[in-house]
Amino acid sequence: MPNAADLDDSQLLAVGDIGALLARYEPVIIGRCIARLNGSLDAEDVAQDVKLRLLGEFRRGKRYGDLPYRVIVHQVIGWTIGDHFAGRPTDVSLPEGWEPAPSGDHADEIVGRGWVEWVVRRVSGKDGQIIALRYRDLLEPGEIAERLDMEPGAVYQAIHRGLRKLGELSRA
């Protein structure tokens, strides 16, 4: 479902401000490349190739209808990292006619729903509520404890339970 940020992205795309779009997603691009390449120093090069590919697609006039731009960003990240691990060059444009396609794993749902919503659907009850307060509303554990009338220690335990379950799901 498009959200307010998706609408902002659409407007930037419509006026041709690809620089502002890339500035917005750069931390995500670099972070995912570092994470997926396990900290390798090649990560920044791969991240740069992601940006160059996104710029290239934009200059080719590629627009993707109602698909949120963040979906495109994450697809290009996945595609480029895949090329890197397969030993294919990443400093080349995406193939002519490249179109985003679902990968079929939970990554699509995370991108589509947003991480917090994905978590809340999988971590039930109060633990899910606490995860949302921590990572969507950015409340400190002490603030969450006060809001939910809990002991801070219990909040920490709930966060850890939720993240532990996420860790299992991510590895599945």
CB of 98 to other proteins, least distance (A): 17
Nearer to other proteins, 67 or 163 (CB): 163
Q: Are 131 and 114 in contact (CB under 8 A)?
A: no
Whether the CA torsion 115, 31, 4, 65 is positive or negative: it is negative
* DSSP result, 70-83: HHHHHHHHHHHHHH
Residues 6+ apart with CB under 8 A from 17: none
C-beta closer to other proteins: residue 36 or 126: 36
By beta-carbon proximity to other proteins, the closer residue of 52 and 154 is 52
User: Which residue has tokens 């990560």?
Assistant: 43
Q: Is 3 helix (H, G, I), strand (E, B) or coil?
A: coil
Name which of 30 and 154 has its Cβ closer to other proteins: 30
Interface contacts to other proteins, rule CB under 8 A: 3, 5, 15-20, 22-28, 30-32, 34-36, 38-39, 41, 44-45, 48, 51-52, 55-56, 58-59, 74, 107, 110-111, 113-118, 134-135, 138, 159-160, 163-164, 166-167, 170-171
